[in-house]
């Protein structure tokens, strides 16, 4: 089988490419990635020379390039991770979120229709369901929860999901969609909460917690997201949506305090800053469908996954220090200057 993995130089796509190349040496994995600020070839270094791996630089919005690639490679399966993914950046500049996340998805699916594939899988997010109230811990997102988005990022992801479902209904494209909760683990770009806090705490810099730090996220180790997608590709039913999550709800403050304790750093580093506009209160996934229908079970809890992740950042300083040396300094100054 030949897989196209778009966005495979990013956090989750990179972990998925590692997982697939190492788990299925008989399959061919082609990563297509534009190498935006979030894409990083150092993430792919450990598998770059493997005989069943190939990297192609390119944009999922580039119809001509995508057409040539599909004609040449004859993919069996397409897994679309490529996206603009940071909510704060979507608040600053929504446009690229619309073109990459929606139009890019359309270009990929048009090529799938033209050349024929066994499966197009869209990697979506729990954010398409909006948020849940903090005082109703009994509520969870199911696959039937209405789409109700808050940020330009989540609206663009929801737009793509609707288009994927339309291509299934109208053109009978064999699609699946997964919606996962917040991921953490190796190769996570340090603009996102967990790697940002680890890298700043290690440098004894202040840790910017939005609002009162009581917003809740449902954390899943990236390895468990990869095994879930693998199962959906092989056993999932066409046209279906699968929620992925492991019931690991934590307030942001709990997450930051856990990191500080693990690194033996003082809580005085915590600095409460101006809140994110439209900040979603709580995400919480009900993964019953993928558990009962496909037999998926996560390997990690937050309590076992976080020490492993912190250890990875301690032993792979080069990977994230290279990022901090680039445009990142400007990004941090610009993004956090209005958050005194
Ligand atoms: P990321 O930002 O780390 O990586 C995105 C990758 O896509 C980068 O390598 C980037 O270069 C590439 N890319 C961006 N625009 C492109 C384009 N036009 N053409 C080709 N490549 C392009 O993102 P991530 O956190 O790994 O997320 C991957 C996918 O998973 C996204 O679709 C995201 O919506 C979804 N998701 C993320 C999470 C999470 O917690 N991070 C949770 C659920 C779902
Ligand atoms: O739920 C899945 C989503 O998780 C993915 O679809 C997104 O691509 C991914 O970025 C992530 O979105 P979040 O907005 O939840 O992740 P982020 O790491 O940006 O923020 C997590 C929480 O931490 C959120 O409540 C905002 C807060 N936060 C974040 C940053 C960067 C802070 O308090 N301070 C910060 O500096």
pLDDT at 339: 84
Report the CATH number that the domain containing residue 170 is assigned in CATH.
Answer: 3.40.50.720
In a domain, 198, yes or no: no
In a domain, 213, yes or no: no
pTM of the predicted structure, to 2 decimals: 0.98
In a domain, 104, yes or no: yes
**Continuous H helices in 81-180:** 87-92, 95-98, 104-115, 152-171
Examine the pLDDT at 279 and tell me if it is beyond 80: yes
Distance between CA atoms of 63 and 56, rounded to whole angstroms?
15
Examine the pLDDT at 5 and tell me if it is beyond 80: yes
Question: What is the percentage of the chain residues whose pLDDT exceeds 70?
Answer: 100
Write the pLDDT tens digit of every residue in 221-260.
Answer: 999 999 999 999 999 999 999 999 999 999 999 999 999 9
Write the pLDDT tens digit of every residue in 138-172.
Answer: 999 999 999 999 999 999 999 999 999 999 999 99
In a domain, 159, yes or no: yes
Structural domain count of the chain: 1
In a domain, 20, yes or no: yes
What is the DSSP pairing of strand 270-273 with strand 207-210? parallel
- Which residue's alpha carbon is at the smallest distance from atom 28 of ligand 1? 81
Question: What is the percentage of the chain residues whose pLDDT exceeds 90?
Answer: 99
In a domain, 31, yes or no: yes
Distance between CA atoms of 207 and 199, rounded to whole angstroms?
10
Does residue 182's CB lie within 6 angstroms of at least one atom of ligand 1?
yes
pLDDT at 338: 83
Write out the H or E segment, with its range, that includes residue 214. Answer: none
- Which residue's alpha carbon is at the smallest distance from atom 5 of ligand 1? 10
Between 193-202 and 317-325, two packed helices, what is the crossing angle to 10 degrees?
A: 90
- Which residue's alpha carbon is at the smallest distance from atom 4 of ligand 1? 10
pLDDT at 301: 98
The band of 9, judged by pLDDT with boundaries at 50, 70 and 90, is very high
Annotated catalytic, 249?
no
pLDDT at 13: 99
In a domain, 201, yes or no: no
Does residue 306's CB lie within 6 angstroms of at least one atom of ligand 1?
no
pLDDT at 232: 98
Domain that holds residue 294: 2-185+220-247+280-300+329-336
In a domain, 321, yes or no: no
């Amino acid at each position: 089988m030949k897989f196209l993995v778009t966005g495979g130089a990013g956090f989750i796509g990179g972990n998925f490419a590692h997982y697939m190349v190492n788990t299925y040496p008989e399959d061919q994995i082609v990563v297509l990635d534009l190498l935006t600020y979030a894409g990083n070839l150092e993430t792919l270094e450990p598998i770059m020379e493997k005989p069943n791996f190939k990297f192609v630089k390119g944009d999922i919005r580039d119809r001509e390039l995508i057409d040539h690639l599909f004609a040449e490679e004859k993919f069996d399966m397409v897994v679309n991770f490529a996206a603009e993914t940071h909510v704060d950046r979507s608040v600053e500049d929504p446009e690229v979120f619309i073109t990459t996340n929606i139009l890019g998805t359309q270009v990929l699916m048009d090529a799938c229709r033209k050349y024929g594939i066994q499966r197009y899988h869209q990697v979506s997010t729990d954010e398409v369901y909006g948020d849940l109230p903090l005082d109703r811990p009994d509520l969870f997102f199911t696959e039937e929860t209405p789409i109700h988005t808050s940020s330009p990022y989540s609206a663009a992801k929801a737009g793509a999901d609707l288009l994927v479902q339309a291509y299934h209904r109208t053109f009978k494209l064999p699609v699946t969609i997964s919606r996962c909760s917040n991921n953490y683990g190796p190769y996570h770009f340090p603009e996102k909460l967990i790697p940002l806090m680890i890298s700043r705490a290690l440098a004894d810099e202040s840790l910017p917690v939005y609002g009162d730090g009581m917003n809740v996220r449902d954390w899943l180790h990236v390895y468990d997201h990869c095994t879930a997608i693998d199962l959906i590709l092989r056993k999932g039913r066409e046209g279906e949506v699968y929620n992925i999550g492991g019931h690991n709800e934590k307030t942001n403050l709990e997450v930051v305090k856990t990191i500080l304790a693990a690194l033996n750093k003082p809580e005085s580093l915590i600095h409460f800053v101006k809140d994110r506009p439209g900040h979603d209160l709580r995400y919480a996934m009900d993964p019953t469908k993928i558990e009962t229908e496909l037999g998926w079970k996560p390997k990690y809890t937050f309590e076992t996954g976080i020490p492993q992740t912190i250890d990875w950042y301690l032993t792979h300083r080069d990977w994230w220090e290279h990022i901090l040396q680039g445009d990142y300094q400007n990004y941090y100054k610009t993004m956090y200057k209005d958050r005194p």
